[in-house]
Amino acid sequence: MEATKLVDLETARDAQGLRLVVVANIPSPWSEAAKGIFRIKGVPFVAVRLGPGDGEIRKWTRARNAPVAMYEKEPGRTGWADILELAERIGPFPSLVPKEPADRVKMFGLSHELMGEGGLLWSSRLVSIDIGLESGGERGFPEPVAGYLGGRYGYSKLRIAQARARVAEGFQLLADALGDRAYYFGDSVTALDVYSAAAVNLFALLPDEQCPMWAPIRNAFESTKDEVAPVPASLVAHRDRMYERHLELPMAL
């Protein structure tokens, strides 16, 4: 598979088909999952990196954050479920949603527990913010980053105990769902496999040659993993399997 093609804003605006706006220089699980889903489906796309000061990109997407999936003349899609539904429509094969209704409901429920507001990733972000603010940026996010993200994620000291518990609960739910299988729903990859692999990167970081990122952000993730429940070994093995077989390495950040 070809490496992700990173382009500037003007090139993306002029391009046809699918354009993805992704977080720059950070392995954002939401951005990496969006790229991974379209990659598995073989849907071609170009990617634009979004940084803190990229106001023109935000004007184009009409969204404050990333990822944003811009397809043809359609409005941009920012939510993980909306991006998945777009992927299922424009790249129907292979489907990344289970056929059986009960499995489908389970997949979307677990995906929300992982990717949604208040879920595992959101909660771990709150813990990183708290560590950064409490340590003056020596651990967790650098203090200016922690302050900025605190407003975005609804940070309150009163929420941190619950956030830590939510991370532990999320890991247990995922480990129980995966069991000893290669993938969450048997022999076929689903979107949950992609989300899980992208999420585990924040708690069991791949080496810099595979996952290059700004050193203070790597430090933030490294220090956060010691403050939350350990990621189960089965989920790390699943992450490694997904990147070996289906996802892009090194990551294009």
**Which tens digit of pLDDT belongs to each residue from 158-201?**
999 999 999 999 999 999 999 999 999 999 999 999 999 999 99
Domain harbouring 35, CATH code: 3.40.30.10
- The confidence score (pLDDT) of residue 1 equals 65
Q: Specify whether 83 is located in the same domain as 115.
A: no
Q: Specify whether 85 is located in the same domain as 105.
A: no
- The confidence score (pLDDT) of residue 57 equals 97
- The confidence score (pLDDT) of residue 81 equals 98
- The confidence score (pLDDT) of residue 161 equals 96
Among residues 193, 234, 169, the alpha carbon closest in space to that of 98 is found at 193
Please give the average per-residue pLDDT across 96-122, as a whole number: 98
Please give the average per-residue pLDDT across 122-134, as a whole number: 94
- The confidence score (pLDDT) of residue 227 equals 87
Domain boundary among 90, 117, 133: 90
Q: Specify whether 143 is located in the same domain as 235.
A: yes
Question: How much of the chain exceeds pLDDT 90, in percent?
Answer: 85
By mean pLDDT, which of 139-143, 175-179, 241-245 is the weakest?
A: 139-143
| Residue 2 pLDDT grade (very low, low, confident, very high; cuts 50, 70, 90) | confident
Domain boundary among 25, 60, 90: 90
**For residues 253 and 238, which has the higher predicted lDDT (pLDDT)?**
238
Classified as helix, coil or strand, 18 is: strand
**Is 29's pLDDT higher than 80?**
yes
Q: Specify whether 113 is located in the same domain as 220.
A: yes
Q: Which domain holds residue 131?
A: 101-245
- The confidence score (pLDDT) of residue 230 equals 94
**Is 100's pLDDT higher than 90?**
yes
- Asked if 230 and 169 touch (Cβ cutoff 8 Å), the reply is no
Instruction: Pull the structure tokens for residue 185.
Output: 């729903």
Classified as helix, coil or strand, 188 is: strand
Among residues 43, 177, 156, 33, the alpha carbon closest in space to that of 105 is found at 177
Question: How much of the chain exceeds pLDDT 70, in percent?
Answer: 100
| Residue 216 pLDDT grade (very low, low, confident, very high; cuts 50, 70, 90) | confident
Q: Specify whether 133 is located in the same domain as 222.
A: yes
Q: Is residue 132 in a domain?
A: yes
Q: Into how many domains does the chain fold?
A: 2
Residues ≥6 apart with Cβ < 8 Å to 80: 30, 33, 34, 111, 115, 116, 195
Q: Specify whether 127 is located in the same domain as 75.
A: no
Domain boundary among 34, 69, 90: 90
Domain harbouring 141, CATH code: 1.20.1050
Q: Specify whether 148 is located in the same domain as 235.
A: yes
Please give the average per-residue pLDDT across 58-81, as a whole number: 97
